[in-house]
A and B are shown apart, each in its own frame.
Chain A
Amino acid sequence: MAVACAALAVAMLIGVSVGPAGLTLGQVAAALLVKLPWLPHLAVPPVAVIIVWQVRLPRVILGALVGAMLAGSGAAYQGVFHNPLADPYLLGVAAGGGLGATMIIVTGASATLLPPAAFAGAVVAVTLTYLLGSGTGRDANRTGGSAGAIVLAGVAVGTLLTAVQTYIQQEHSQSLQQIYSWILGGLSLASWSDVVLILPYAAVAAAVLIAHRRLLDVLRIGETEAASLGVDVTRLRLTIVAAATLAAAAAVAVAGLIGFVGLIVPHTVRLTAGASYRVVVPVSMIGGAAFLVLADVVARTVQAPAEVPIGVITAAIGAPFFLFVLRSRRAQQDLA
């Protein structure tokens, strides 16, 4: 936990210090401190203050929030569905968010509507998945569907919504580039208003997921045995899925689709700090925040002044890791 917090602090410092404006570390530090009420007389160029406070800081904080949400919801989905390969987009968040964003882009509506539309699309998709999936399958808990049935419903809903999104996208080929750049994800348009937009969802989702960390450990012994220990598995799963979906939808709304964060980070935490969700949930959030802030630094520096989509950076690290997890014995054994 301490290591993860330190990593996040370092990542955020790097995040605000690195950029094309060529500010020195001293200028960045002074620009950060000048807003403190008891330090008003620091000599800082006004442009440095603007760059740090209006460009870099919102981007770093938004990146941290998005990373924390993706990693936290990935960890939660993996626990609740007993599936080491579950990620935040498992139940249709990506397809729903993508459809919502595509609709706004092709209709030429105001760009400010894009985050709420993506958020709404993601939430509607998961709700649809849950309603369709929970009516089927045998369950340990007398009511509701099995975890497997819900995951399958997620695949079906995701495929359907992606088909609709692809159709709309092809019908409006002039918007292709804009849609693709959204799908690849990124933080290049980050602003304080985005931070404000997702902060309430992020706070609620983080609080709910952390509060359920012990119960996620109970689920490790399977739904039947968890039910025999007095856990209402259906209600618990719904609560955790709702919180994880809120987190993932908030992330998608402001940053598009950023793959692999929800997969890499929780597994790294399991391999290094143990598989108990008491550790995995909070440390994944902090680690996810640090990872995405650093990935964003790489994204905006490797080809500066151009930006590489952050999804490319996380995927370049994530795909080999994904294969590693697939082959790892732990993936099959430990996530029961």
Chain B
Amino acid sequence: MITLAGVGVHYGPAAALAGVSGEVAAGEWLAVIGPNGAGKSTLLRCIAQLTRHEGRITIGGQPVTSLRRRALAQLVAYVPQVPVLPAEMTVADYVLLGRTPHIGYLRMETAGDRRICASLLARLDLAAMAGRALSTLSGGEAQRVVLARALAQQAPVLLLDEPTSALDLGRRVEALELIDTARRDRSLTVISAVHDLTLAGQFADRLLLLSGGQVVTSGPAAAVLREDVLGPHFGTAVQIVTGPDGALVVISRRDRGPLRPPAPGR
């Protein structure tokens, strides 16, 4: 379980995040949504202790500030919005970096670390490209490789900052399915910042809407993906449509006044 109490980040007088409190249950997938600049990435960086913050964050009852960096990395894996992929590094070497929290200072990887990474590469269908340089990967392949590195950390908490932002529609669903499978296989707690509200609603157990650094609301998709909830924060051009399977689809449209149903007989 992750708890947040009064978490805030200030850059000078401006608050990037203010008074964020809440809980994330073990095994839950929480999607953090909100307009640009809402504080989604900042919140993830606070949990990963990559930015100074006020307030208190605990994981499994332990305050994160009391943990050494290496101990924290054994609990929390973090994937930034734009991961750095050194051009010449091979896929296998990159995924092996994920074992860093389990390797003693100045030690090298063991055969066990290599085994863990090899089985991950096989699970994520990456074994054939293990020897390829990162610069040769497509966006979708790179996304899977980055996820493999995060999973190699074997941390119970996975923080993903916009994991699908660089992907096309099909690859987005594919990437989120992969995360969902990994979550179920390993009972991971996932917190992800997501721009695609429709997919956030379909994959996450719960959505947390941030705006201006503050929590607006949180709850299941049906409670959060509503025009009256999203509208004030994303602008009026947000429309929610219920799909045939009951899934909520968030569409953005050009603001031309209220949408009228087509006239009968046409």
A: which residues have CB within 8 A of B? Answer: 140-142, 211-212, 214-215, 217-218, 220-222, 224-232, 274-276, 330, 333-336
Contacts and interface: CB of A to CB of B under 8 A. Distances in A.
Contacts of B87: 330, 333-334, 336
B153 interface: yes
Contact of B52 (A142, A221, A276): A142
Contact of A230 (B70, B86, B108): B70
Given A228-B78, A229-B101, A221 B108 contact: no
Interface in B133-191: 135, 153
Given A221-B97, A228-B50, A334-B88, 18 more contacts: A140-B50, A142-B51, A214-B106, A215-B106, A217-B97, A220-B84, A221-B83, A221-B94, A227-B50, A228-B77, A229-B153, A230-B72, A230-B73, A232-B70, A330-B88, A333-B135, A334-B86, A336-B86
11 contacts: A142-B50, A142-B51, A214-B109, A221-B84, A225-B83, A227-B50, A230-B72, A230-B73, A231-B100, A334-B86, A334-B87
A333 B103 CA distance: 28
A334 B74 CA distance: 28
Interface string B104-115: 011111000000
Contacts of A330: 87-88
A230 B74 CA distance: 8
A225 B245 CA distance: 39
- B-side interface mostly: loop
Interface string B72-94: 11101110100111111100011
B50 A224 contact: yes
A229 B52 contact: no
Contacts of A220: 84, 86, 89
A142 B153 CA distance: 21
**Across the A-B interface, the 3 shortest Cβ-Cβ residue pairs:** A230-B73, A230-B70, A230-B101
B106 A211 contact: yes
A217 B106 CA distance: 12
A232 B71 CA distance: 11
B143 to A, nearest CB: 15
Interface string B33-61: 00000000000000011111000000000
B123 interface: no
A227 B69 contact: yes
A276 B72 contact: no
B98 interface: yes
Contacts of A214: 103, 106-109
Contact of A224 (B70, B73, B80): B80
Contacts of A227: 50, 69
Contact of B84 (A217, A275, A336): A336
Contacts of B107: 214
Nearest to A278: B108
A228 B93 contact: no
Contacts of B71: 230
A240 B142 CA distance: 30
Contacts of A335: 86
Contact of B98 (A212, A229, A274): A229
From B76, B84, B85, B98, name the one whose CB has the most chain A CB atoms within 10 angstroms: B84
Contacts of A231: 69-70, 100
